[in-house]
Amino acid sequence: MEVIRIEGGHPVTGEVTVEGAKNSALKLMAATILAPGVTTLHNVPNISDVHIMGKVLKELGAKVDVVDVHTLRIDTSTVDSWETPYSLVAQMRASTAVLGPLIARFGQAVVAMPGGCNIGARKIDMHILGLQALGVTFDVDHGDIHASAPHGLVGTSVTLEFASVGATENLIMASVHAKGTTVIDNAAREPEIVDLANMLNKMGAHIEGAGTPVIEIRGVGELHPVTHSVVGDRIEAGTFAAIAAIVGNPVTVRGFDPLHLGLVLRKYEQMGIEVERGEREVRISRTDRIKPVDIQTLPFPGFPTDMQAQTMCLLSVAQGTSIVTENVFENRFMFASELQRMGSDITIQGHHAVVRGVERLSGAEVRSPDLRGGAALVMAGLVADGVTTVLDIYHIDRGYERFCEKLRDLGAHVSRVSASFEVLEG
């Protein structure tokens, strides 16, 4: 078992470049099923979730070649199965992103019902309701979802009960060949959805309105493979912005569009953090103590739930009390209970967290509850007194490429050590 060991109190400053967005790359990989042939994806992050999605595509019969660390060549002309095994879906619930493409291409799909995870039940009822409206019938049998549309899909209007990212993406991908036009109302507006629509349109789809609450998909014939570069990861960028903010030294974060972090950066400015925006970068620094602010997570362009833990970490050492409200997932405060072990003063009341700022955090052994909470615990360790050890770091490896190396390049005293605590690297 590996852990991350952080020595607090060292300056963290310099420049860091983020990778392509995990939450786009996984869907772009699934979407290659819609375009038989060789699609090349650039700027793909080298993270475990991408490796799992590669296994899912190979399980379906595709060829997946890693051309270089960040470029994948995916040949889906050989895809001859529409069944994804529970073993892979259980490892990564984002595997359900193949549901829409498989239905569009084969008129059927068998996808294991994804389990919940540490942050919530993660149901897919909205995916199913929307697909049923398009003419897909479903059976759930022994934990597998059997979807079928033997006569193809018929475009219609679907209103999502909640602006679900995954449901929006599956409905877009399922409806690219539907007869007529599909309208998704109350659609999610995340930049990763715009990235998916851009690639599908390059493939020959006809999708309008991505990035707005109403997306229109006009059914077309065959799609053709393309070359596409994954949009920069706004959440990895936001994580490094939060790291710069908590340590206080200037850090330039490159490789993403600051407009994709609009509200986060505006909130950070309200917290007294200096933000200089460039075309594809931000420079973050801080001189005064962090000011408290209230945060509520909402679908984009609201405050992203994937930045909640990192921001709560900042607020835990602010000069005053903040309220953090989590509206997207029902159980995304486990990070707070781990941060308590480091001396924070946080009271959870339902989906609100009352965060009373403390002067200092103290290093401790803590357990990463999920991907973003784990990154936030490492972030806390950078400013805590003494040594912090973060366990269950496989969560972090799912979405952050070379996280420790990037932090060390910024001057942090961070290393990955094995359970026997001999140093593995750096």
Which residues are at the interface with ligand EPZ (CB under 6 A)?
Answer: 22-23, 26, 94, 120-127, 162, 164-167, 188, 305-306, 328-329, 371-372, 399
Q: Which residue is nearest to ligand EPZ (CB)?
A: 166
In angstroms, give the least distance from the CB of 345 to ligand EPZ.
25
Cβ distance to ligand EPZ smaller for residue 145 or 290: 145
CA distance 413 to 424: 14
Q: Which residues of 279-308 are buried (b: 16+ CB within 10 A; e: fewer)?
A: eebbbbbbeeebebbebbbebbeebbbbbb
Is 117 annotated in the active site? yes
Catalytic residue, chosen from 38, 113, 117, 133, is 117
CB 327 within 8 A of CB 286: no
CA distance 383 to 244: 11
User: Among candidates 207, 155, 219, 221, which has minimal Cα distance to 182?
Assistant: 155
In angstroms, give the least distance from the CB of 319 to ligand EPZ.
29
- Rounded to the nearest 10 degrees, the angle between the axes of helix 165-174 and helix 125-133 is 30
What is the signed CA dihedral for 41, 47, 51, 57, rounded to 10 degrees?
A: -40
Joined together, the tokens standing for residue 357 give: 């700022």
Cβ distance to ligand EPZ smaller for residue 171 or 412: 171
Cβ distance to ligand EPZ smaller for residue 26 or 317: 26
In angstroms, give the least distance from the CB of 330 to ligand EPZ.
6
In angstroms, give the least distance from the CB of 22 to ligand EPZ.
6
Q: In what order do the strands lie in the sheet with 281-285?
A: 14-17, 251-254, 281-285, 274-277
Cβ distance to ligand EPZ smaller for residue 299 or 343: 299
H runs (alpha helix) in 209-332: 234-247, 262-270, 308-315
Cβ distance to ligand EPZ smaller for residue 38 or 298: 298
In angstroms, give the least distance from the CB of 122 to ligand EPZ.
5
Active-site residue numbers?
A: 117
